[in-house]
């Protein structure tokens, strides 16, 4: 149990939690992976392995900032992002 973070928004009053090494924000993680993929970089798990204690409970904004840095360093910009979230409690 604990807060559930979706798209950078934390929901504290949630009976169930997400099993994850970081905060488990599925929206941020999918966008970060999409950016890394578009740049032909390794996936989020290689940049931020769950075997590294530095990322235990880390906010996904840290991962998004790194994806943005990688993109910016190569002169790329996001044109559009489309995320569909289907969830069931």
pLDDT attached to residue 11: 86
Taking only the tens place, the pLDDT of each residue in 11-30 is 887 777 788 888 989 999 99
Taking only the tens place, the pLDDT of each residue in 50-78 is 999 999 989 999 999 999 999 999 999 99
CA pair distance 71, 86, nearest whole angstrom: 28
pLDDT attached to residue 89: 66
Evaluate if residue 83 carries a pLDDT over 90.
Answer: yes
- Give the global pTM: 0.87
CA pair distance 35, 19, nearest whole angstrom: 23
């Amino acid at each position: 149990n604990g807060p559930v973070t979706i798209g950078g928004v934390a929901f504290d009053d949630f009976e169930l939690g997400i099993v994850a090494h970081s905060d488990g924000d599925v929206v941020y993680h999918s966008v970060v992976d999409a950016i890394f993929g578009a740049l032909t970089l390794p996936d989020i798990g290689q940049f931020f392995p769950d075997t590294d204690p530095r990322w235990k409970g880390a906010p996904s904004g840290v991962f998004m900032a790194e994806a943005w840095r990688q993109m910016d360093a190569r002169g790329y910009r996001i044109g559009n992002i489309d995320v569909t979230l289907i969830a069931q409690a």
